[in-house]
Every structure is written in C-alpha cells, then in structure tokens.
Structure 1
C-alpha cells in the first residue's frame, strides 16, 4: 500500500482537515438523500476516537469561484449531526481569520464544517497561496473523497502535499477494491461495459482489452460493435461514425487474446416505452423498422457462463434499456448471477458509475457485490488507466 491510512497517523490533539464528498441532494433546505454523508461517518468516528479534531472541507455544486448563497453547506449541518451523533459547528469561510477562529474554538469530540471550497476562485486553479492559507488551519490532511480525486484542486491535491496526509476509510476501501479489481487481480478477469455510446468510453475500452481476459459489451454501444461487423441494427441507437473505431478495438482484442462477448440474440421493439410489444431474434436479424433495446436469453446465458469461470469482475453500465420493463431483463439476470457468485466467494465484484449503481440497485444485487463505487467520473478515469491527482498526492 503506497499511501497512509488513519491507522498510520498520530491524531491525538491534532486538527485534521478532512476532504469529503457531501454533494448531496437538498430540497427546501433539507437533505433528501444522506447516502454520501453516511459513507464518511466511519472516517469521522475513527478520527474522533483517535483524539483528533475533524474539520470538513467540501464542495457543493458549481459556484465557479463566487459566493452563491444557495450553494452554501450550512443546510447540511442537521444531517451531519444526525449521522455523526456529535455537535457540528459551521464556519461561513474556509480560509482566513474566521476559519482560524472557528478551528481554535472547536471543542473536543465535535466536528467543524467549513464553507464550500469552490466559493474560492483559487480552489479549482490549485492555487498555492490558497493552499498555504488552508493548510495553516490543520496539522494533518485526510482525503476521504475518491469521487473528487480526479481533480487537481487545492482541497484534493495541494493540501496533501502541504501536510502529513492519509486516506480516509471510504478512500481506503475504494483504493483497496480498485487494486483488487485491476491492479493485481485474481484471474480470469471479466469486465462488463454497457451504456449508450462507444465515444464516451473509448479510452475505457482501449485500456480494458489490455487488462482483462473477457470483455462483455452491452447497451447501445453493443449496437455500434454489431454494425462494425456489417450487421444491420435497424433504427437502434448506434454511432455509425464510430464503427471503424469499434472494428479496431475488436482487432486489438483478438491480437492480444482478450475475448469480446457481444449479443448473439437481441430483444427488439418498435417503440421506446415500458411494456412495448417486442420480439427476441438473432443478433443479425433486427427488422429494419425496429430498435434493439436489450440482449436476449442466449446472450444472458453466455454471460453467465463467462462469469462462472471468472475470479474478478469489473462492471460499468447496463446491458439494455434497464429503465423500462421488460428491457431490464438482461441487466437484472447478469447482475443476479454476479451477486450470487460473489456471495458464494467465487467472485470479487467491483462496480461503479451512476447508471450502473441505479441498475444494480434495481436488480436487487448491489448489496451483494464486493464493492460498489459511487464515484462516477473518478471511477471511470481510474478504469481508463489514468492517474488520479488526488490519489497520486497521497502516495508516500
């Protein structure tokens, strides 16, 4: 492990600047989903137990360096107190005399929340002067916001350079899961990649064919790969201008021994709505006036077969139009298979990305995966093989 955790740090009597992601939905001044707050609670509890004083740094929305009252973090205080079970003070700044005074007044066993870091124009510019001012507030820096680790901002990167630093519990869990999935995985490794567009996941697919043994491609992007093989996909969602690129990925995979699984049968419909009349046909038999909305049962069976031989699974994106029935069938079935194999200890399963989490939750499989990342962009960039500035800055 190339980075420190809370366990490696002496926090007794220390002020710990903790970068968290509490960019939660708020309606009428109240938090409507506290998932992200609950996920950072173990870090806060462990810092307090070690005698540290947690001072939270976070962004909210996109104020672009300006003070935008409706993007203040103050309304989050009641939800933070309810989750942490300790008093949470608030300071309307994250630098300067007011912040310094708030840190000085912080009682033992309490938490301090500083105002939205993105109210500062220097935050997203990774400004050294702002970094020095914010670093003066604490003794130790702890990053628990993997979801913001792909940004080189003051609160995610510069502070890690300025202070003794460590990963929080959520960051630690994320990094350990990702290392197990792609760093030094147990083989064979299967990646399931779905979603609408090849163009949005080009770098991802290019990286994965070099790292995994089997690549399952579903969703709208599978149509582009079918079209690249000269198959008529009717009125389906398809990036016809990307077929050459899809063909190149297929050729690259073939050359280096990565097997790619595309739909062998498809579920087609003539309108995009729940309960629409549909048919299951061979992948090369899509009617000219129909659209492909899901993979068929033969494809699902082949995916299950590949998963049964695997030791590690990485999942990003649904297999079909999972938002509407019955076109959620392939995603649900594959997710259930992965969940069952994980439960029996045969599979390490790591999944991430917004649609992915929603699809796995809908399938009732998410809580049986080894790890579910809620990080979105950072998870995708990690899968693409990119260096994440917020992680790199923590490395010893």
Structure 2
C-alpha cells in the first residue's frame, strides 16, 4: 500500500510558489459558511508554507458537485471571506481569483507578490478538471485536458495535496501532473500516518469493530481486514446473517442477506484459517424500527428473535464481552455503529463501544475511526477529539477495502517509516 509519501516538511519551499490542492468542500448556505472546520484544518499547511518563506500559496479546491459547469451556488467566494476572517489577526489576506482563463489572473498566478495567498474559483467548474460531465454526457477532449494541466503547472514550483477525502479521484488538480515535486500536506500526512499505523504496521493485538448494514461493502472490508487484524467484532445489521448461517439462529425480521450467505460462510472459514477471532453478539435488544409502539425485548442468541421483531442493538452480555476485547487492544479500528442509531432507544450499544474505545485510547491504544455515520454519531456526543484519529469521506473506506488511492500513489515516495 502506497502510504509512505513525502510531506511538505520533507522539502524546501523557500522562495517557491506552492500550489496546494486543499479540501475546502464544506456546507455553504446563502453565501455563508455553515461549518469552517475544514478551513481551519487547511490553514495548518498554508501557514507552514508561509512561515517557511515560500514565495506564494495558490489554493485549488472545490465545493459541491459543479460537474464541469459554472454554478454560483458552488462558488468559493464565501471560502475566501472565511479565510480572511481567520487570517486577519496575522495580517494575512487571501486574494480570490475568478475565471483563471483570463489573462490578468494568469499573470497573478505566474508572478505573484512575495507572501501572497491566492484562491482559485471552484476547480470543478471546468470540465478539463473532471474529464467527463455526468449531467451533459460530455467528455473533455484530451488536448484540452493536457492544456489545462500544463496551465496549472505554470502556476507553481511545488505541488502539495492536502485533500485526502478525494484521493480516490484522478481529477487533474488531484494528481499534480507535470510537477516534479509532489508532496502531502500536513492534514494528508496525518491521514497517511494513521492508516499506515493501522493497516500496515499495527501494534498488537489489533481489534476491528465493523458495524452498519451495507452488506456488500462491509463484507469486502471484513475480507480484507482478515489479512491484518487479530480480532474482529461484527455488529450492527451484519451479524444476523453470520448467526443464521453458523448457528441456525432464529432471527425474526432482522436484516439477513441471502445473496451473501455463501460469502459469509467463506469469511468465517477464512477467519478460522487465519487464526483471527471473529466475535458476534451474544444478545440483542429487539423491537421494530418501523413501529415505535412495539415493546423492546432482550433476546439471547440461543433463544432466537421471534417473528415480528428485529435485532436493533446489542444488549448487556455483548456490551460486556466487546468492552473486554477492546480494553486489551493496542490498535483499534472502528467503522460503523453497532445498533440502529437512527432511533435513540437503540443507541446504547454504540455509546458503550465508543466509550470503550476512548478508554483504551486514554490507556495508550491507537484508535482510528472511519466513516461518516460513525463520525456523525461521535460528533453528536462531542467525542471526536478523544480518538487518535478520525477519517471521513470515501478515501478511507477505499483503504479499508484494500483499494489503491491514485492521488496518493502520484505523490513522491519516501522510505522513512511513520
């Protein structure tokens, strides 16, 4: 896996024009930024380049899904305003640029004043960036794409990618074409470091908690993790297929995937062959997610779940068992809730798992939380800063699946381990 990559801290940026592919894709409503967390994170790399006497910083990013056409709803102008608010105490100013095909903007990018910060308009306004428009079914000609990439190269001496969430894309600005020096930004470096520590060089024992209900994706993740983990906790909507296939458990109306039943049996055999302990819940809180009037009931695996009821959360025996496993871990990966968290009544199990991981982290374990649903749950509880690292977006899931990230692979490699 291509996670050992040079960072901006590995090169000399003095007097160089630094092009940063930033992650500024944040919610904007009525021209106002609703959440500036990504902007605050982007400032770490921007400040580093300026503090190390680069000539200029040119920011490239996108908001929303412009799909190769100009759309004022997705303009980066509000981003520039927010950046200026954050940088005002430092007497630094961001200059927002419009359509960079205009000659005057071209000149500003090629010969910027010392210490300047420039922000291009939404890079996805240009079909040459994305290559193909889904809305219009139009493909950009190769000569236009190559001209576009060379234009971006003219604007900088060093390319920095700090947009990990989108590293599964091969968009022009994500790949740093024609730049000799292509390195990771500080936020990207943090992502690569924790995925390397988790998936490539984990401290043992390594425990993964996989929940949720997206069978096809989660089963592929489980299959990939069997190559590296010591123990796996399977929860959420996934275990009922495992329990029905392995113990012929009565699961009532709980989630079951007939389509994946053979794959589940193969996974269990493979876990045994790889000497990976695969832990399933011992008991469940049952009810009906479609009918709040259905009384909640505790059901043991041996007794099964009656018809008309669904397993919607783990119960006390499972909580105790899983907490004990997590407490002994040195590396922890968490992806997916262990209950139907859309209803508060079925969130206790996920809270229990969250608190167990936090306690293990406080005791020295490395914890990595991946996935929007899990992160949103932890954000609601105000615990995101209690883990070693949290990773949102599709790129992290790609790594859990064992897939390669082309925009990471495009960065300059290094031999030093994390």
Q: TM-score range by the shorter chain?
A: over 0.9
- Which 5+ residue runs of structure 2 have no aligned equivalent? 132-141, 414-418
Is the CA contact (8 Å cut-off) linking 1:194 and 1:221 kept in structure 2? yes
- Classify the secondary structure of the residue corresponding to 1:225: helix
Whole-Å Cα distance in 1 between the matches of residues 356 and 371 of structure 2? 19
Give 1:184's aligned residue. 201
Q: Do the aligned residues in 1 keep the contact of 2:361 with 2:367 (CA within 8 Å)?
A: yes
1:1-396 equivalences in 2 (<5 Å): 2-52=4-54, 53-85=56-88, 86-94=92-100, 97-104=103-110, 106-125=112-131, 127-159=145-177, 161-229=178-246, 230-272=248-290, 277-284=295-302, 285-345=304-364, 347-374=365-392, 376-396=393-413
1:256-315 Cα offsets, whole Å, 9 max, x none, are 111111111001013446796311111242111111110111111111111122110011
Indicate conservation of the 8 Å contact 1:40/1:170, yes or no.
yes
Aligned-pair distance for 1:364? 4.0
Q: 1:358 Cα shift?
A: 1.2
TM-score by length of 2: 0.89
CA RMSD of aligned residues (A): 1.9
Q: For 2:308 and 2:4, how far apart are their aligned partners in 1?
A: 55
Q: Give CA-to-partner distance per residue, 1:82-141, whole Å, 9 cap, x none.
A: 233421111113456344223256443432110111112121239333211111111110
Task: Measure how far apart 1:337 and its partner are.
Answer: 1.0
Q: Is the 8 A contact 2:176 2:182 kept in 1?
A: no
2:48 alignment partner, SS class: helix
Q: Any unmatched runs of 5+ in structure 1?
A: none
Partner of 2:139: none
Give, in whole Å, the separation in 2 of the partners of 1:271 and 1:331: 16
Q: CA deviation at 1:3?
A: 2.2
TM-score normalised by length of structure 1: 0.94
Matches of 1:291 and 1:371, distance apart in 2: 33
